[in-house]
Structure 1
Amino acid sequence: MASSIVVPGEDLQEAAASMRRVLQHINVKRSSADFTQVVGAPVRGSAENFEDRWDAGRKQLRQECDDIVQAIDTILDAFTAVDEQSGDSLGGDR
Structure 2
Amino acid sequence: MQGRYDGGRIVLALEPDEARRLAAALGEVSESLSRAEFFIRTGASGPNIATVADQLQALASRRSDSFDTPVVAGVETEENPRRPRH
Q: TM-score, normalised by structure 2?
A: 0.41
- Bigger relative CO (Cα 8 Å, ≥ 6 apart): 1
Greater helix share, structure number: 1
Q: TM-score, normalised by structure 1?
A: 0.38
Which of structures 1 and 2 has the bigger CA Rg? Answer: 1
Greater strand share, structure number: 2
